[in-house]
Every structure is written in C-alpha cells, then in structure tokens.
Amino acid sequence: MSGVSTPHVSCLCEAIDECVDAVLAPPLEADWAFVWLSAAYIKGRRGGRIVCAAAIAGGSVNTNCRRGVLGLSGGLSNAEPVWTDFLRLLTRRGLCGVRLMISDAHESLKATPPRPLPRPLHAQRPGRCAAQVPGHTGGTIRTAFAQATEKEPREQWRKVADGLRPAPRRTSP
C-alpha cells in the first residue's frame, strides 16, 4: 500500500476506535443473568515486534433472553489485575443482576478479589464434562439444551433432574 499517509492512517484508526467504543462503552442496561468470561492468547504487533497478548472477553444473556458482548479487553497477560480491572469496568458500566458467572479455570481469575458479582463457576468444556459422567448421563443432560421453545428446556431439565436423583431410602420399621 503505497501513498497512504500517516495522518490518513491516524484518521482511520480514530474512526475504528469510535466504532469500537460505540459497541463496548455504553451502559449495560437490564439484568445480565448469565455471564461467560474467557481469555485467549493471540499474536499481535507491539513496538515493531510480534508478541503474544491476552484477549479478555465477557459475554452474557440478559433476563429477556438477549445475548450480548459485555466487553473486550487486552493485556500482556491474563493475570489477576487484568481480570480485576475488566470486572470493575463492567460493574462501572452497570453490570447487575448476575446470577451465574461461568469461566474456564483461570488461576488468575480465581484470585480476583471479592466484588459485587458472584464468584465464577469454573466449568469444564461440555465435551470433557460429558466424557467424565458415567453412563448415558451426559447425553441425558444435553437434551435440556436441545429444546425448541423457551418453556421446554425448563420442563425437560426438571424431568432430567428427577430421573438423576437417587431413589429415597426405605427405612425398615
């Protein structure tokens, strides 16, 4: 790309920053009941060198069953201060109503200080979890997630949960 001036590149970057801020900076309205947190390392250019950097992401489903990206952040690592800053930013933007927070078992996320949000449930990936569950239980549990309407998963989950509970013990007289 020849003929692209430095001021033109700066102008394009400012326009991109405005678009990103429009998506990631507005107040988080509504109660975001279920929050997923994740981090991945990606390669990027920093100071003329290619380095690995942490990409931190938060997604959610609100009480109206609408999915959304809560935030994205980057850092040189996914250490505890990076997670703490990310979660503080989300709460300042109005993240509330969180009933369940889910993440991989990031040691640095486990070490974050107490906050007004619930501690993350450190879930395993579904494939690994199902492989560790004996018998047909993993497949039975997945049936609750494969329902067509909004009401059916709750009904199916009740059936699954009832079927997995141990039978009550009988006491002899």
Q: How many Å apart are CA 33 and CA 56, to the nearest integer?
A: 19
Tokens 């703490």 locate to: 84
List CB contacts of 129: < 8 A, sequence separation 6 or more: 123, 138
- pLDDT at residue 131 in the model: 44
How does the average pLDDT of the chain come out, rounded? 77
Under the banding of pLDDT at 50, 70 and 90, the label for residue 171 is low
Any idea how long the chain is? Answer: 173
pTM recorded for the entire structure: 0.60
User: Domain coordinates of the chain in residue numbers?
Assistant: 21-123, 124-166
Under the banding of pLDDT at 50, 70 and 90, the label for residue 127 is very low
Under the banding of pLDDT at 50, 70 and 90, the label for residue 133 is very low
pLDDT digits (tens, 9 = 90+) for 12-68: 888 888 888 887 788 888 788 888 888 888 887 778 888 888 888 999 888 777 888
Which sign, positive or negative, has the C-alpha torsion 111, 112, 116, 119?
A: negative
- pLDDT at residue 25 in the model: 81
